[in-house]
Chains A and B, each alone.
Chain A
């Protein structure tokens, strides 16, 4: 079956670094997305990986290993506004259909 796993919750201190892992097993693979979702709001796009390796975008970086079915999202210099749910999603075909994980709630404490 199809499976996308990520931890339920992570807590970190302001200014610290947090790494959110995502493992996947899907019937097709056309890239992996990370979205941020604040409570009561819509998801917003953070990053996209289709080839192995690291993509860096400011304080956020995302890594992909297709052979291991593994990705992580790295959040550096954490700020209070980074408290949100982070969703790992795999695009399973060229129509862009996404299979989502349940999300990781990141809590940033002062």
Chain B
């Protein structure tokens, strides 16, 4: 199993450009998440999905969009990039259950700089 994979590993964007961060998992997890991590800070939830076709906003969704057309893939779209979106982006997935929470498996991250 590859686990959670993310592409690209690094990217530099100019202000106003757009891009899609790719995330895929091969563990057949229903739940998937996007986080951002600023230097010296914890992770903040951007968007999450509890299954194909179902997405919802997290704590910091402004400036981002997501889609979930398959169980495996959960891309994150940045429209009109701004310097405030300079960060490390982590995708994660987990097993799902009605009542319990399960550990999240994280991808290696995408380091994005907007200048």
Residues of A within 8 A of B (CB): 4, 30-31, 33, 41-45, 48, 50, 87, 89, 91, 94-103
Contact = CB atoms under 8 A, between A and B. Distances in A.
Main SS at interface, chain B: loop
B45 A97 contact: yes
A99 B42 CA distance: 9
A43 B103 contact: no
B15 interface: no
A97 B100 contact: no
A96 B44 CA distance: 13
Interface string B94-115: 1011111111111111000000
The 5 closest A-B pairs by CB, nearest first: A100-B42, A91-B101, A42-B106, A45-B103, A31-B101
B100 A50 contact: yes
Given A42-B108, A97-B33, A98-B104, 15 more contacts: A4-B42, A30-B99, A31-B100, A33-B101, A43-B106, A44-B106, A45-B103, A48-B101, A50-B100, A96-B33, A96-B48, A96-B104, A97-B48, A98-B45, A100-B43
A95 B42 contact: no
A95 B100 CA distance: 9
B96 A87 contact: no
A96 B108 contact: no
Contacts, number: 70
A50 B106 contact: no
User: A31, A89, A100 — which one has the most chain B CB atoms within 10 A of its CB?
Assistant: A100
Contact of A50 (B35, B40, B101): B101
Contacts of A45: 103-105
Contacts of B31: 95-96
Given A42-B108, A42-B109, A96 B42 contact: no
B2 interface: no
